[in-house]
């Protein structure tokens, strides 16, 4: 798992390390790592044009020292200083000694020079940045965005809040971010994620000074470790039985997608109960289907309730019935609307509950999501005593104790009708294995979000995706995270 940290946590961890190391040593480590990533991105360094955007803090110092190293390898480096009086003095001398040039940001030659650069290094603001970019910094940012060079942010893209990912106005649109010591949360969540590009972590020795993270990102390997493969002793019941309560006679789509996703994730046994029975039977002969309610479905190990289920009295009764059980329940879509009216239905539960709102559904519980998505998900989870999976570009999963997962596999291609129903089915299937795997509820939800994103990425390789493509790609997504070569994945190659 990759720990995700706030700017404050990183600062607190840096303090003892700074005290224990020679002055400037940490910055040298940072600059060496930064220059080496830039060198790799450029391929050949000799003769390449590099522009440094330099602010008044240590972030600018990192850029200047890295620029000096690149100049030492023959790059043509020019530093553009936002505040020439306050630029890092030692960094500036090092750059000059290596043959680098210096310009003030106010110099009319600066924007065209940035536009022509092969690589632009954004050292305007780091974790000490507050508020949005000022006008001069915005102009340099536009010049970089309009140029053809590789845009690389130092530590964090200038203009994002390193802890929340909030962007107030304009932020540097990096293709790569070279971050030091720890991955800052703002690089993976909210608008910050879209500005960070590919994140490269450079170790500077912060390791054991960091606190245990309270926010994490799962890797493919982490997800694989949480998906127990079927064993020789398993039968269809022991792999986890999911009950899907979704859709209606008029709108069977959500039920079909949700049931299919559950089957394709963990093909033990999926039971369906509800008005879309005919549609589900036609699409998934593998499912056990009834027109009745949850009580007619047979035994299950987890319920999924809500997608396309409506908000009438009957739907409310179904929701209340499953929430009164001691089984894991995933509450989505229409059932969230119902739950927002009667949150005590979930507050009085002790069994695992996962709510999967998007922003508008989240707001029905009282407050809008706002710009701090991790904070928002944690607040609602603590308030309701349930796991909250807040959907988004980077889906955030928070448990009532505050442990949080930020999904890294999401893609904009998933913003299409029905993909939420697929996520619910996947999550239901993973939750149904809790009885045998002992998997933590928030981790189960995070595993589902990861697989959902993986399936989305695989499907999007072939062009625009629809929700059904996600279902088709799920076995391949599971195989991908578990390291199974695609050629061995049977009919999912179609």
419 CB neighbour count, 10 Å cutoff? 23
Residues 56-115 that bind K ion (CB under 5 A): 59
Q: Is residue 456 within 8 Å of 410, Cβ to Cβ?
A: yes
Q: Which is nearer to K ion, 68 or 156 (CB)?
A: 156
Residue 191: phi and psi, rounded to 5, are -65, -25
Cβ–Cβ under 8 Å, residues 356 and 427: yes
- Please say whether the beta carbons of 31 and 37 come within 8 A: no
Interface positions, 143-202, toward ligand NAX (CB under 6 A): 154-155, 180
Q: How many other C-beta atoms can be found within 10 angstroms of the C-beta atom of residue 399?
A: 24
Cα–Cα dist 260/246, whole Å: 12
The answer to whether 57 contacts ligand NAX (rule: CB under 6 A) is yes
Alpha carbons 322 and 356: distance in angstroms, whole number: 16
Instruction: Output DSSP code: residue 228.
Output: P
d(CA 332, CA 81): 51
* Cβ-based nearer residue to ligand NAX, 205 or 267: 205
Q: Which among 22-30, 245-253, 298-306, 439-447 is the span making contact with ligand NAX, rule CB under 6 A? A: 22-30
Measured between alpha carbons, how far is 322 from 311 in angstroms, rounded to an integer? 15
* 14 is an interface residue for ligand NAX by CB under 6 A: yes
115 binds, among ligand NAX, K ion, none (CB under 5 to 8 A by kind): none
Size of site (CB under 6 A) for ligand NAX: 23
Rule CB under 6 A: choose which of 45, 183, 204, 432 binds ligand NAX. Answer: 204
Binding site partner of 252, from K ion, ligand NAX, none, Cβ cut-off 5-8 A by kind: none
Does residue 279 bind ligand NAX (CB under 6 A)?
no
| 58 part of the interface to ligand NAX, by CB under 6 A | yes
DSSP structural state of residue 256: H
x/- track of binding to ligand NAX for residues 59-88 (CB under 6 A)? x--x--------------------------
Q: Which is nearer to K ion, 78 or 259 (CB)?
A: 78
375 makes contact, choosing from ligand NAX, K ion, none, with CB < 5 to 8 Å by partner type, with none
| Residue whose entry in the numeric block shows the structure tokens 């140029």 | 147
Residue 161 touches K ion, criterion: CB under 5 A = no
Is residue 129 within 8 A of residue 141, CB to CB? The reply is no
Among 30, 255, 386, 431, binds ligand NAX (CB under 6 A): 30
Distance CA 412, CA 179 (A): 24
Which CB sits closer to ligand NAX, 12 or 489?
A: 12
Annotated binding site: 58-62, 122, 126-132, 155, 158, 254, 308, 358, 391-395, 420-421
Which position among 112, 131, 207, 401 is part of the footprint of ligand NAX (CB under 6 A)? 131
Nearer to ligand NAX, 28 or 492 (CB): 28
Nearer Cβ to ligand NAX (58/353) = 58
**Residue 279 binds which entry of K ion, ligand NAX, none, CB below 5-8 Å type-dependent:** none
d(CA 140, CA 389): 38
Alpha carbons 151 and 177: distance in angstroms, whole number? 9
Place of tokens 């009834």: 290
Query: For the chain, how many helices (H) and strands (E)?
Result: 19, 19
Which residues are at the interface with ligand NAX (CB under 6 A)? 14, 18, 26-27, 30, 55-59, 62, 125-131, 134, 154-155, 180, 204
Interface residues with K ion (CB under 5 A) are 59, 122, 153-154, 158
């Amino acid at each position: 798992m990759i720990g995700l940290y706030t700017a404050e946590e990183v600062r607190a961890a840096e303090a003892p390390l700074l005290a224990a190391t020679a002055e400037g040593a940490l910055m040298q480590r940072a600059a060496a790592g930064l220059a080496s990533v830039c060198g790799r991105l450029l391929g050949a360094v000799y003769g390449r044009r590099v522009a440094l955007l330099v602010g008044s803090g240590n972030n600018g110092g990192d850029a200047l020292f890295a620029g000096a190293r690149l100049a030492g390898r023959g790059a043509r480096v020019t530093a553009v200083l936002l505040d020439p009086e306050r630029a890092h003095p030692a960094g500036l001398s090092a750059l000059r000694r290596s043959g680098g040039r210096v310009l003030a940001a106010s110099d009319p030659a600066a924007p065209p020079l940035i536009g022509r650069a092969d690589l632009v290094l954004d050292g305007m603001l780091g974790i000490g940045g507050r508020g949005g970019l000022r006008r001069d910094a915005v102009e340099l940012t536009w010049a970089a965005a309009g140029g053809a060079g590789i845009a690389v942010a130092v530590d964090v893209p200038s203009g994002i809040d390193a802890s929340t990912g909030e962007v107030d106005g304009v932020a540097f649109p990096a293709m790569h971010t070279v971050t030091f010591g720890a991955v800052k949360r703002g690089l993976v969540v909210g608008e910050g994620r879209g500005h960070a590009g590919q994140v490269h972590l450079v170790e500077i020795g912060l390791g054991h000074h960091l606190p245990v993270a309270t926010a994490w990102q799962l890797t493919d390997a982490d997800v694989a470790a949480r998906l127990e493969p079927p064993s020789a002793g398993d039968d269809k019941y022991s792999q986890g039985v999911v009950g899907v309560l979704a859709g209606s006679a008029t709108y069977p789509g959500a039920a079909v997608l949700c049931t299919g996703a559950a089957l394709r994730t963990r093909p033990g046994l999926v039971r369906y109960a509800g008005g879309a029975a005919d549609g589900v039977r036609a699409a998934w002969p593998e499912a056990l289907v009834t027109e009745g309610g949850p009580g007619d479905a047979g035994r299950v190990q987890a319920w999924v309730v809500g997608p396309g289920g409506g908000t009438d009295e009957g739907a409310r009764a179904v929701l209340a019935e499953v929430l009164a059980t001691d089984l894991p329940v995933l509450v989505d879509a229409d059932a969230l609307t119902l739950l927002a009216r009667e949150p005590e239905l979930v507050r009085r539960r002790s069994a695992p509950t996962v709510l999967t709102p998007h922003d508008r559904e989240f707001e029905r519980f009282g407050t809008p999501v706002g710009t701090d998505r991790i904070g928002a998900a944690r607040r609602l989870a603590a308030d309701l005593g349930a796991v909250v999976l807040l959907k988004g570009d980077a889906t955030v999963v928070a448990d009532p104790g505050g442990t949080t997962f930020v999904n890294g596999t999401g893609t904009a291609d998933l913003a299409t009708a029905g993909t939420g129903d697929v996520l619910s089915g996947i999550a239901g299937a993973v939750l149904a294995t809790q009885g045998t795997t002992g998997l933590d509820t928030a981790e189960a939800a995070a595993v589902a979000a990861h697989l959902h994103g993986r399936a989305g990425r695989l499907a999007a390789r072939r062009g625009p995706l629809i929700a059904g493509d996600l279902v088709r790609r799920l076995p391949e997504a599971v195989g991908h995270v578990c390291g199974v070569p695609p050629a061995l994945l049977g009919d999912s190659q179609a």
